[in-house]
Structure 1
C-alpha cells in the first residue's frame, strides 16, 4: 500500500461506511462465540476491529493482530493492543493456535495466496473458523486496486476453490456489497475512460457525513439479509470456513 494512501486509510478506517459495515457484520457473527476464544486479525491495520472485539467482552490477552506495516502496528500498540506484530501474512510465525482467524481485504495483497491460506490453516485449531473477505471481480479493477497494491480480485467460485483446496469446510460464502455493485462498476468504468483516478485518489474518502451515514445503513440492512440469502454478485466476496483436521 502506498504511504500516502495508508495515511488516508488510517484516518478514515474507524468511521468510513465500508469498513464500519463490514466490522458490524463480523461482530454480529462472532458475538456469541466463547469470550475466551483466541482470535487473530490478519491485516489488522490500527486494530479497530480488535478493540471492537474487546468491547464485546473478548479477553484482550487473547486478541492478536499482524500487519506488514510498521505504522499500523505502532497504531495498534498506541490503541492498547499488546499482541500486535509486524509480519508478512504469507508467513505468519506466531506459535499460538487460534479459534478464530479473520482476514479482511488481505489475501489480494499477497503474491502467493495458496501459501498464505496454507499458513493460515496451520494457525487455526481443529474445529476453528476462518473468515476471509476479498475484493470481487477483475472487471472492477481500477486505480484503487493499483494504489492498494493488489495482485488480483476474486470471484466467489475462485475463493471457495482456493479455501476448499486446503481441506477447509465452507460454512457460508456470498458476495457482499451487493446493492452498490452497479454504481461502483459504472463509476470505475467512467473513471478509467477519463482517467480521473490517476490523481492519486482512491475510493476511501469518507466524503459527506450524511452520505456516509446513508451508505452505512444500506449495507447494514444488506448484512441482515445475508443471514437468509447469498448474493449473486457484489463488490466483495467472502467465505466462512472451518478446519476439519
Structure 2
C-alpha cells in the first residue's frame, strides 16, 4: 500500500471511493478462500487487512513493512494485528500484496521470497497499477518502477512458482475518464499524485460506479486501472 497516498488522505482513507472500492473488490476475490491468518506485505497502516478482519472470519493479521519505526501490536474487531519490520516463516494462509510489486526491482524475487515463508496451499492476493501507456507523474510521485498488463502479472506470479487461480482488471467504469486525463497530460512527468480528497456527492457517485461493476469484475480481462490476481502456492 502506498504510504504517500495514506499521508494525503489521512483519516479520510476509509471514506475515499478508491480505497473503499478496492477493499470491496478484495473481499469479492478472497471470499471463497475463507482465510484465517493474513500476511500483509508492504502493509502501511494495514488498511486492507483490517478491512478483512472486520468483515470476514479471518482471525489475525501480520503486517510487514520496512517503513515501520518499530514493531508493535494492535487489534481490529478484537483480533490481533501485529506490525513487524520483517518476518520469517509463518503459518499465514493468505498473503496480501496491495500495490507493492510495482515498487521493487525484482518482483518475481519478492513473490518467491514470501512464497517461501508460508505453507503449501496458501493464497496470494496481488494488485498492481495497469497499463504502461497510463504512466504519468502520479507513478513518478509514488516511485513506481513499472505498470502491468493482466498477462504480465500472471507471468510474474507463475515464474515465481505460484499457480494463478483468477485474475481481472478493476475500475473499468472510471478507466475511460482516467485514461483521458493521463493521456492529455502526456509528456509531463512532474511528480504529483492524482489522488484527491472529494466531497460526499463525488465520493458517493464514484463508489456507486465501482460497485456496479463488482458482479462482473472477476470476468473482466479487457481494461481497468488496476490488475487483481489471486494465486496459490502449490502443494
Structure 2 residue aligned with 1:182, among 152, 170, 176? 176
Q: Is the 8 A contact 1:96 1:123 kept in 2?
A: yes
Aligned to 1:237, what secondary structure does the other structure show? strand
Whole-angstrom CA distance in 1 between matches of 2:85 and 2:136? 28
Name structure 1 gaps, 5 residues minimum: 88-92
Distance 1:132 1:94, change over 3 A: same
Distance 1:85 1:10, change over 3 A: farther
Name structure 2 gaps, 5 residues minimum: none
Q: CA deviation at 1:69?
A: 2.4
Aligned to 1:42: 41
Question: Once the two structures are superposed, what CA deviation does each residue of 1:41-76 show, in whole Å capped at 9, x if it has no partner?
Answer: 12222122222222235455x2111123237987x8
TM-score (normalised: structure 1)? 0.83
Q: CA deviation at 1:9?
A: 4.2
Aligned to 1:128: 122
TM-score (normalised: structure 2)? 0.86
Distance 1:28 1:6, change over 3 A: closer
Aligned to 1:209: 200
1:243 equivalent in alignment to 2:233: yes
Q: CA deviation at 1:224?
A: 1.6
Aligned to 2:66: 68
Q: Is the 8 A contact 1:12 1:205 kept in 2?
A: no
Whole-angstrom CA distance in 2 between matches of 1:164 and 1:3? 28
Whole-angstrom CA distance in 1 between matches of 2:9 and 2:216? 28
Distance 1:18 1:3, change over 3 A: closer
Question: Once the two structures are superposed, what CA deviation does each residue of 1:112-152 show, in whole Å capped at 9, x if it has no partner?
Answer: 11210111211232111111000011100111111111111
Q: Is the 8 A contact 2:132 2:146 kept in 1?
A: yes
Whole-angstrom CA distance in 1 between matches of 2:137 and 2:91? 37
